[in-house]
Amino acid sequence: MASLQVSGVTVSFGGNRALDGVALTAEAGRVTGLIGPNGAGKSTLFDVASGLRRPSSGQVRLDGRDVTRARPSARARHGLARTFQRLELFGRLSVRDNLLVAAELGPERRRADRIVTEILHRLELTDLADTSPDALPTGVGRLVEVGRALAIRPKVLLLDEPAAGQDVEETERFAELLRALTDDGTAVVLVEHDMSLVMAVCDEVYVLDLGKIIAVGPPEVIRSDETVLAAYLGDA
């Protein structure tokens, strides 16, 4: 059962096609990787999926339901959550309240306090609960974004470079977290530059370049795909 299904999505900024007929499917209980050079259109695809940007053509389906014209808040209620590459934390609220706002908007608002405590614990953020997210290093801020997204108990979770700025050990813990999430049946889409993380956790990887999907497949196939290597080397 496909949890998130994007098909034929095209987005243009002025004359530039940032996305050109992109299709992507993310299934429950799996981590779907989305990789590609900077400017490939990964964040724009997340904007389309979460409803912040209308595509000029194409469809977005959540759990089989067409949500292409739905507002971001409606998609969240249908179980979609995301994080932002450029952090969008609530800077004037404490870390705990960042999560609390989300939990109170989610389906289990009665248990909001308990959910927040549990997530803080899980992400090892409990000690920082009362600090302002503005005072945190970006790596920790990304973790708070992940926690906030988790607080609405999503069925589909879009993560935009969540592990950037983490060291090896932290990345390892993050991989654990992703596996635990998929065990609970969440569909995760992961945008990430750290190839070892992508290879370690993804069940399937999409490669985006200049707004087009140039390859799809299991990580070990993608690793040795000629076109993919060309796109990355050409970029470097």
Ligand X SMILES: Nc1ncnc2c1ncn2[C@@H]1O[C@H](COP(=O)(O)OP(=O)(O)O)[C@@H](O)[C@H]1O
**Partner touching 104 among another protein, ligand X, Mg ion, none, CB below 5 to 8 Å by kind:** another protein
Which region among 14-22, 26-34, 48-56, 113-121 touches another protein (by CB under 8 A)?
A: 48-56
Shortest distance (Å) from residue 27 CB to ligand X: 22
- What binding mask, one character per residue, do residues 63-102 give for another protein by CB under 8 A, x or -? --------xxx-xxx--xxx-x---xxxxxx---xx-xxx
CB of 132 to Mg ion, least distance (A): 25
Tally of residues, the chain? 236
Which of 5-13, 28-36, 123-131, 212-220 is the region at the interface with another protein (rule: CB under 8 A)?
A: 123-131
Whether residue 7 contacts residue 23, with contact meaning beta carbons closer than 8 Å, is answered with yes
Q: Under rule CB under 5 A, how many of the chain's residues touch Mg ion? A: 3
Token output for 74? 């409606």
For the chain, the first-to-last Cα distance in angstroms comes to 37
SS3 23: strand
- From 18, 19, 152, 231, residue interacting with another protein (rule: CB under 8 A): 152
CB 43 within 8 Å of CB 53:
no
Q: Distance between CA 51 and CA 45 in Å, rounded?
A: 10
Reference 99, options 115, 111, 110; nearest CA is: 115
**228 φ, ψ to 5°?**
-65, -50
**Number of C-alpha atoms within 13 angstroms, CB side, residue 55?**
27
Q: Which segment (3-11, 127-135, 166-174, 215-223) binds another protein by CB under 8 A?
A: 127-135
Largest interatomic CA distance in the chain? 52
Q: Residue 10 CB, nearest distance to ligand X (Å)?
A: 12
Name the minimum Å distance from CB 107 to another protein: 9
- Tokens, residue 234: 């050409």
Nearer to Mg ion, 10 or 131 (CB): 10
Binding mask 79-98 for Mg ion (x = CB under 5 A): ------x-------------
Q: Which does 105 bind (CB under 5 to 8 A by kind): another protein, Mg ion, ligand X, none?
A: another protein
> Is residue 109 helix, strand or coil?
helix
Binding residues for ligand X (CB under 6 A): 13, 18, 36, 38-44
36 binds, among Mg ion, ligand X, another protein, none (CB under 5 to 8 A by kind): ligand X
Min separation Cβ 218 and ligand X, Å? 22
Burial group, residue 220, by CB count within 10 angstroms (0-12, 13-18, 19+):
exposed
Question: Which residue's beta carbon is nearest to the bound Mg ion?
Answer: 43
- Backbone dihedral angles phi then psi of residue 229, each to the nearest 5 degrees: -60, -40
